[in-house]
Amino acid sequence: MQHQTNDALSRRNFLKAGVGAAALLSTFRLDETLIKEAMSQIRGGGVSVLWIHGAACQACTVSLLNTTYPDVTDVLLGTLPQVKLDLDYQTVLMLKWGNEALEALKNPQKDYLLLVEGSIQTKNDGTFCTIGEIDGKPVTMKDWVTKLAKDALAVIAIGTCASYGGIPAGAPNPTGAVGTTDFLGTNYRSRLNFPIVNIPGCPPHPDWMVGTLTSLILATKKLYPFPELDSLGRPTMYFERSIHDDCPRRGLYDEGNFAEKFGHDGCIYKLGCKGPISYADCNSRKWNNGLTSCTISGAPCIACVQPEFPDKSSPFFDALPIPALSYKEAAGVGVAVGGALAGAYWLRARKEKHRVEH
């Protein structure tokens, strides 16, 4: 593919390139050149990124650092002249510290995207998690999210903890940890009238983060449509198909060939795989620079992208309480039955989760 230079890229051609980028962002690998061309269009009107951490292990940030196309420094740190994205606050990656760093949260000077990593503590008035101080008083994560969400161009929840509560919200959830949508409310809309975008995963794939962030930056400039989201707030370009749909062991499942022990041939459904009820493109995109995935490497999918993770997707090595249907059995009862069983399973799980938290 030939790419035009930045100077030669008229608005019309750029919009065409943007449509191309839309397709490429969702393909197996991100197209570095197109992303840079897209980013160059917002040069001079830099978008600030305020990335704050609640209850999290920082693995989402570490996963982001594994992005290769484009390189994370190109995208986030603005080290290439044609890329203008200002990472004004990011606990792990930013160069500033102390009061100078905190100033970006206290008095944002530019339009900004709010990225939330980790869940938000609500019990004890949020004092389980604080970031910095104002006038000698610690400021809670929940107060930062409340303040910064008001003026954000868009709010993005990075990882399952920020999206749905994740591990910190596991029963008995002593800190009252919740995801960003539970905290801000399903009716929340950003300054540009965007709903919260969830990029779940424990951690999320770097492509999901970079691709969504890039498309959202362009959406704030009206150069790219706001990404389509599913009912759980996830971009459909990454979270539409199930792990099971694209699994290389799927033929073994359909034949009823199930492994009884790890390391044995066969589908690992009976060893706890939650692939049939988990939605992400791990098995087509693959992880570790396109090398492998959980089920490819012989480990069960633990449904880390689902709101029910971890309480209702565990024990991780126990088979789902819905029957595995071999190809012959499925042909007899119809695929719809499998879907209905999975739906019923998650519905029950969500009701029970609700009971635990409230």
CA dihedral 207, 212, 213, 218 (to 10 degrees): 130
Q: Which stretch binds ligand SF4 (CB under 6 A): 65-73, 108-116, 302-310, 350-358?
A: 302-310
CB closer to ligand SF4, 197 vs 202: 202
- For residue 168, the SS3 value is helix
We find the least distance from the C-beta atom of residue 311 to ligand SF4, in angstroms, to be 15
Q: Distance between CA 111 and CA 172 in Å, rounded?
A: 38
We find the least distance from the C-beta atom of residue 170 to ligand SF4, in angstroms, to be 16
Identify each DSSP E strand in 43-92 by its residue range.
Answer: 47-53, 85-90
Q: Which stretch binds ligand SF4 (CB under 6 A): 27-35, 136-144, 178-186, 301-309?
A: 301-309
The backbone region for 69, taken as left when phi is positive above 0, alpha when psi lies in -120 to 50, beta otherwise, is beta
We find the least distance from the C-beta atom of residue 291 to ligand SF4, in angstroms, to be 13
Is residue 264 annotated as a catalytic residue, yes or no?
no
CB closer to ligand SF4, 142 vs 244: 244
Of 205, 247, 354, 358, the catalytic one is 247
Q: Distance between CA 250 and CA 262 in Å, rounded?
A: 17
Angle in degrees, CA 209, 211, 213, rounded to 5: 65
Burial (Cβ within 10 Å: 0-12, 13-18, ≥19) of residue 68 = middle
CB closer to ligand SF4, 63 vs 122: 63
- Binding string to ligand SF4 for residues 191 to 220, with x set by CB under 6 A, is what? ----------x-------------------
> Which of 154, 165, 295, 312 is the binder for ligand SF4 (CB under 6 A)?
295
> Which of 148, 153, 304, 342 is the binder for ligand SF4 (CB under 6 A)?
304
Instruction: Report the residue closest to ligand SF4, judged by CB.
Output: 275
Of 60, 129, 354, 358, the catalytic one is 60
CB closer to ligand SF4, 72 vs 305: 305
Is residue 282 annotated as a catalytic residue, yes or no?
yes
CB closer to ligand SF4, 18 vs 276: 276
Start-end of H helices in 84-140: 98-106
Of 53, 129, 202, 205, the catalytic one is 202
By CB under 6 A, tell whether 349 contacts ligand SF4.
no
Other C-beta atoms within 10 Å of 46: how many? 17
Is residue 267 annotated as a catalytic residue, yes or no?
yes
What is the total count of residues that contact ligand SF4 (CB under 6 A)?
23
Which residue type sits at 186? Answer: T
Query: Which parts of 260-279 interact with ligand SF4 (CB under 6 A)?
Result: 267-269, 273, 275-276, 278
Is residue 57 annotated as a catalytic residue, yes or no?
yes
CB closer to ligand SF4, 144 vs 309: 309
Query: Which parts of 220-259 interact with ligand SF4 (CB under 6 A)?
Result: 243-244, 247, 249-250, 253
Burial (Cβ within 10 Å: 0-12, 13-18, ≥19) of residue 129 = buried
CB closer to ligand SF4, 87 vs 304: 304
Hey, which residues does 140 pair with through a beta bridge? 130
DSSP codes joined into one string, 172-235? T-TT-EE-HHHHH-TT---TTSPPPEEE--SS--HHHHHHHHHHHHHHHTTSSPPPPB-TTS-B
Q: Distance between CA 251 and CA 272 in Å, rounded?
A: 17
Of 57, 129, 264, 358, the catalytic one is 57
Q: Distance between CA 4 and CA 15 in Å, rounded?
A: 13
Contacts with ligand SF4 by CB under 6 A lie at 201, 243-244, 247, 249-250, 253, 267-269, 273, 275-276, 278, 280, 282, 293-295, 301-302, 304-305
